[in-house]
């Protein structure tokens, strides 16, 4: 059962609709009890880091999520701010992150951008997988995904890198450490590529 963490942020219904079309069991989890049947977890997120972390911390699901992810090793996929929340902290705020990665979230340095490139990074962009199994299995060259963000994920351990993207500079657009995975882009808005990625996640 794919459980989408519904703590008040993120387009949870879009994920649910995709999995229903794929005939993959899915549920929206609004309480800790709702997470009990999860085999896989999706943590969506939009907006500011502190607001998202505060909403999750107040949802009553934080402790159960930590247990499922860190102790039971359930596969989890963080999307956009949901990925950023997996870090220790963010330049965007003061609230502690989930600390599932030894990582920080940094604001892009616009002074290093080329002409006409500015924040936020919004729209379609190439994603270059570092690993072509797992989440990026069966992907051809030139996969493109939809982005909307001004901050990027910076893990201390480069072996956590899963994919990269160029916007001004090359940045890390996907990370993985064991069962914990995050992507900066929005697969639910990325047509066929996003559907394939979500299907791959369900198969992990």
Pick the catalytic residue: 40, 80, 92, 149? 80
Return d(Cα 129, Cα 142) in angstroms, integer.
10
Catalytic: 92? Answer: no
Residue-wise DSSP of 95-155 = S----SSSEEEEE--GGGSPTT--SSEEEEEE-EES--SGGGTTPPTT-EEEEEESEEEEE
Give the C-alpha separation, 124 to 201, whole Å. 21
Set 121, 141, 186, 191: catalytic member: 186
Task: Tell me how crowded residue 123 is: count the other CB atoms within 10 A of its CB.
Answer: 10
- 154 as an active site residue: the answer is no
Is residue 72 part of the annotated active site? The answer reads no
Alpha-carbon gap, residue 91 to 82, rounded angstroms: 15
Q: Which residues are catalytic?
A: 80, 186, 188
């Amino acid at each position: 059962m794919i459980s989408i963490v519904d703590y008040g942020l993120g387009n949870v219904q879009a994920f649910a609709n995709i999995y229903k079309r794929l005939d993959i069991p899915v549920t929206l989890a609004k309480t800790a009890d709702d997470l009990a049947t999860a085999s896989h977890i999706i943590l969506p997120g939009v907006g500011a880091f502190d607001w998202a972390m505060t909403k999750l911390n107040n949802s009553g699901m934080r402790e159960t999520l930590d247990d499922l992810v860190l102790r039971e090793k359930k596969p989890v996929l963080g999307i956009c701010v949901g990925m950023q929340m997996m870090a220790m902290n963010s330049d965007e705020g003061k609230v502690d992150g989930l600390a599932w990665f030894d990582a920080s979230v940094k604001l892009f340095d616009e002074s290093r951008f080329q002409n006409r490139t500015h924040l936020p990074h919004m729209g379609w962009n190439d994603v270059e997988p570092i690993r072509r199994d797992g989440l990026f299995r069966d992907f051809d060259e030139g996969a493109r995904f939809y982005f909307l963000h001004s901050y990027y994920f910076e893990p201390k351990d480069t072996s956590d890198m899963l994919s990269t993207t160029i916007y001004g500079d090359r940045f890390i657009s996907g990370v993985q450490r064991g069962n914990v995975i995050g992507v900066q882009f929005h697969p639910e808005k990325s047509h066929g590529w996003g559907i394939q990625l979500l299907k791959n996640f369900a198969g992990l």
